[in-house]
Amino acid sequence: MTKARIGIFIVSLFISICPVGGRDAQLKIQTIDGNGYVSLEELIRSYRIESSFDIITQKGKLFHKSHYAVYTVSFSLFVIDGLLYRSETPVVRRQGGIMIPCRAASAIIEAFYPDVSARCSGSLVQVDKKPEVKEPAKTGKTPAVIQRGKDRIRFIVIDAGHGGKDPGAVGIGGVHEKEITLSVARRLEKELAARFPSLRIVMTRKKDVFIELSRRTDLANEMIAGNGNGLFISIHVNATLSPIISGYETYYLSQNPSNDDARSTAALENNVVVLEDESKGKKLYDDIDYIEAMMLTTQIQKESMMLAESLQGGLSGRVKSSKSRGVKRADFFVLRGVLMPAALVEIGFITHKKESKILGNASHQNSIASGLAQGIADFIRKYNSLPQ
C-alpha cells in the first residue's frame, strides 16, 4: 500500500467510525410491541458513549464529554443533562440486552452531540448535522431538553383523601373528612369523564377503604408506564383550632413550607403514616430515590406549581360561598415521589361552623368539582402549549 493509499484508508476508516454524519453509524430501529426501540449496546458503540449499570437498582448511566443521561429498566423516565425526559414507552430488556425507546435515544444523541439533530425515521435513526444558525433572539425562556420529550397529559389520578380506619379531620357534628373527599372526588370524576373523553380518569379509592399514602403514589406512577404523562390531584378538607378560619387553598410539594399554617396543614395530613405498616411504608419512601430524585423534583415542582395555580384559579371562578386562601407550598407525604404534576387541594375548613355545613352540601360539592375541572382544563391547555 502506498503512503497516499494508507492516508485515504485512514481517512475513510475515520469517516466510517465517526458517528456524527457518518451513515454507517445509523442505528437500526427494532419494533417491540408496536413501538420503536434501539439497542443500548449499539447506541453506546456507535456514539462512543461511556456507560455504567447498577444491577441492583437496574439503573444505568451514559456519559459523553460533559453530558450524561440516566435511565432505569422498566421506567419511561430519563434524566438527560439534569433535565427530566419522559418517553412514551419504558426501557425494556430483550434477549439479555437493554432496549431504549427510539425517541429517548434520539434525545440522548442530540444532548450528547449538540450540533446534530436525530429522529426516528423508518427503520433507522436519522442523524443530520444541524444547519448553521444565527444566534437566536433572546426570548427569556430557557431552552430545555425536556420540552421535546414532554408528553401530553393522558390520564388524571383523583385521590380522595383518607378512608377506612383513617377518618381524616373530624368536624362539627361529627362529620368526617373522608366522606366529603370521596363525594367531591366522585363528582370530579364524573365531570372530567364528560369533559375529557379521551383521557383516562382513575380514582385511588372509590369507596370507604384505607389506602396507604405510598400506595396512592405508586398507583399514579404505575399509570405512567402504559399511558405517558398524567396529573395527580389529592382532595382534602382542612382543620384548625381557630373556629374563624375558612376558605380553600391548593398546595404543591416543597420541602420549604410557605408559612407556619402550611406546615401545620401538612403535619395534619401526614399523620396517617402512623396508621400504616411501618416497615412497608418506610421501604417505599426509601425507594423513591431510584432515579435522581432531586433532578425530578425541580422539573416536576415547576409543573406542579403551575397545576396548583390553575386549580386554585378554577376554584375561584366557580366557588362563590367560600373564599380563596391562595396557592401554598408544603411537604405532603402523599405528593412525595409522584412522578408527574401533582397538587393537594384543601377544599375548606371542617372546623368552621358555616363551611363545615356547606362542605356536605351537594351544590357546593358540585361547584368545587366544576372549579377543579376548569382548573385542570386550564392547566392542560397551558401545559400542551409549552414550547416543544
Residue numbers of the site for Zn ion (CB under 5 A)? 161, 168, 236, 269
Map grid coordinates 393537594 to a residue: 344
How near is the Cβ of 138 to Zn ion at its closest, in Å?
Answer: 45
How near is the Cβ of 292 to Zn ion at its closest, in Å?
Answer: 30
> How far from the centroid of its chain's Cα atoms is residue 83's Cα?
12
Which C-beta is closer to Zn ion: that of 43 or that of 184?
Answer: 184
Which C-beta is closer to Zn ion: that of 250 or that of 299?
Answer: 250
Counting Cβ atoms within 10 Å, is residue 364 exposed (0-12), middle (13-18) or buried (19+)? buried
How near is the Cβ of 264 to Zn ion at its closest, in Å?
Answer: 12
**Which grid coordinates belong to 161?**
383523601
**Which grid coordinates belong to 323?**
373564599
How near is the Cβ of 236 to Zn ion at its closest, in Å?
Answer: 3
How near is the Cβ of 346 to Zn ion at its closest, in Å?
Answer: 7
Which C-beta is closer to Zn ion: that of 161 or that of 228?
Answer: 161
**Which grid coordinates belong to 131?**
444547519
Q: Which of 91, 66, 58 is nearest to 77 (CA)?
A: 91
CB neighbours of 66 closer than 8 A, spacing ≥ 6? none
Please say whether the beta carbons of 357 and 365 come within 8 A.
no
Which C-beta is closer to Zn ion: that of 235 or that of 291?
Answer: 235
How many helices and strands, by DSSP H and E, does the chain display? 11, 17
Which C-beta is closer to Zn ion: that of 118 or that of 311?
Answer: 311
**Which grid coordinates belong to 358?**
356547606
Which C-beta is closer to Zn ion: that of 120 or that of 235?
Answer: 235
How near is the Cβ of 331 to Zn ion at its closest, in Å?
Answer: 14
Which of helix, strand or coil describes residue 31? strand
Q: Which of 310, 288, 285 is nearest to 297 (CA)?
A: 288
Which C-beta is closer to Zn ion: that of 22 or that of 167?
Answer: 167
Rounded Cα gap, residues 174 and 308, in angstroms: 30
Which of helix, strand or coil describes residue 385? coil
Rounded Cα gap, residues 38 and 32, in angstroms: 10
Which C-beta is closer to Zn ion: that of 249 or that of 378?
Answer: 249
Which C-beta is closer to Zn ion: that of 346 or that of 378?
Answer: 346
How near is the Cβ of 249 to Zn ion at its closest, in Å?
Answer: 12
The secondary element (H helix, E strand) that includes residue 92 is: strand 92-94
What size, in residues, is the chain? 388
How near is the Cβ of 169 to Zn ion at its closest, in Å?
Answer: 6
Amino acid type, 303: E
How near is the Cβ of 247 to Zn ion at its closest, in Å?
Answer: 16
**Which grid coordinates belong to 129?**
448535522
Q: What is the DSSP letter of 113?
A: S
Please say whether the beta carbons of 231 and 250 come within 8 A.
no
CB neighbours of 201 closer than 8 A, spacing ≥ 6? 155, 156, 158, 189, 192, 193
> In the complex, which residue's CB is closest to Zn ion?
236
How near is the Cβ of 186 to Zn ion at its closest, in Å?
Answer: 17
Q: What is the DSSP letter of 150?
A: P
Which C-beta is closer to Zn ion: that of 171 or that of 337?
Answer: 171
